[in-house]
Amino acid sequence: FMKLDKKDMLLYAVTDRSWLGCESLSFQVERILEGGVTFVQHREKMLRADRFLEEARTLKGVCEKFGVPFVINDNVDIAIASGAHGVHIGQEDMEAKTVRRLIGKDMILGVSVRSVEEAIRAERDGADYLGAGAVFHTDSKPDAQYISHELLKDICSAVSIPVVAIGGINKENIKYLSQSGISGAAVISAIFAQDDLKKAAAELRKEIEGCLT
């Protein structure tokens, strides 16, 4: 099992098939890991369960080659069956304490939060880290509720587990997240929508290290 380290949270990438073109997701994930991504969440809404499982196993292998944690979004069954290092859930999904019971104590559990109350409850219910957002406008979830910089700071100081900011983050606006207490930033299009994935990851990694350390 992979134990979570705060520095694993620095550059957290969430997969998205929208920009695959003729490449495979495993090829793209390998590129972003070469560029310096420190954590991968496999988010998949379209694939049939058998294809999803097969892909999850492949991606887990790629992540392990780089020593990077690999979690599945929302799907506890796939996370367990694929041997992923953990699972990430939102407030609309299963309750964190239920998920913790299903995955046991060794798998990583991440929970999305939008308030201090949700953050405290998630930590109490067994979360290893939190995803807080949306911190900026995001096209991947146009109806996402915003959280202010102040609220982000409050969430970070209310818990002892790492918090990653998510939502519309790119290399231009990431500097506004400094001094908030976050351990890292979660991105989708800031990496996957770019022409050179490895370069995009490397540039973001540099920006984040600059404003968080």
- Across 8-12, 40-44, 94-98, 134-138, least confident range: 134-138
Q: Which residue has the tokens 């890292």?
A: 184
Question: Is the pLDDT assigned to residue 160 strictly greater than 80?
Answer: yes
| H-assigned helices in the chain | 25-35, 49-65, 76-82, 96-103, 116-124, 149-158, 189-192, 197-212
- pLDDT of 25 reads 97
Which residues lie below 8 Å from residue 152, measured CB to CB, with a gap of 6+?
Answer: 132, 135, 163, 165, 177, 180, 181, 182
82 burial (CB, 10 Å; 0-12 / 13-18 / 19+) is buried
Q: Which residue has the higher pLDDT, 121 or 143?
A: 121
Query: Rounded to whole angstroms, what are the CA distances from 123 to 110, 119, 186, 209?
Result: 9, 6, 19, 25
Considering only residues 1 and 38, tell me which one the structure prediction assigns the higher pLDDT. Answer: 38
Residue 101, classed as helix, strand or coil, is helix
At 20 the pLDDT is 93
- Given this model, what pLDDT does residue 145 score? 82
**pLDDT of amino acid 212:** 87
Largest CA distance in the chain: 44
CB 136 within 8 A of CB 145: no
Q: What is the pLDDT of residue 139?
A: 76
What would the mean pLDDT of 139-162 be, rounded to a whole number?
A: 90
Q: How confident is the model at residue 1 (pLDDT cuts 50, 70, 90)?
A: low
Give the mean pLDDT of 23-46: 97
Report d(CA 131, CA 58) in Å as an integer. Answer: 25
For residue 198, CA distances in Å to 24, 42, 159, 204 come to 15, 18, 33, 10
Residue 57's Cα: distance from chain center in Å?
18
Please tell me the distance from the alpha carbon of residue 206 to that of residue 10, in angstroms, as a whole number.
10
pLDDT for the residue 141: 73
Confidence grade of residue 3 (pLDDT, cut at 50, 70, 90): confident
Check if the beta carbon of residue 93 is closer than 8 Å to that of residue 131.
no
Question: What's the pTM?
Answer: 0.96
Instruction: Output the pLDDT for position 144.
Output: 74
Instruction: Name the pLDDT band for 102 (thresholds 50, 70, 90).
Output: very high
Q: Average of pLDDT values for 116-129?
A: 98
**Cα 165 from Cα 144, distance rounded (Å):** 13
Residue 116: predicted pLDDT:
98
* Nearest CA-CA partner of 131 in 143, 113, 151: 113
pLDDT digits (tens, 9 = 90+) for 176-208: 999 999 999 999 999 999 999 999 999 999 999
Closest C-alpha to 115, from 104, 107, 123: 123
**Average of per-residue pLDDT values in the chain:** 95
Q: What are the catalytic residues?
A: 43, 112, 141
Q: How confident is the model over 35-69, as pLDDT tens digits? A: 999 999 999 988 999 999 999 999 999 999 999 99
> Which amino acid is residue 106, in one-letter code?
D
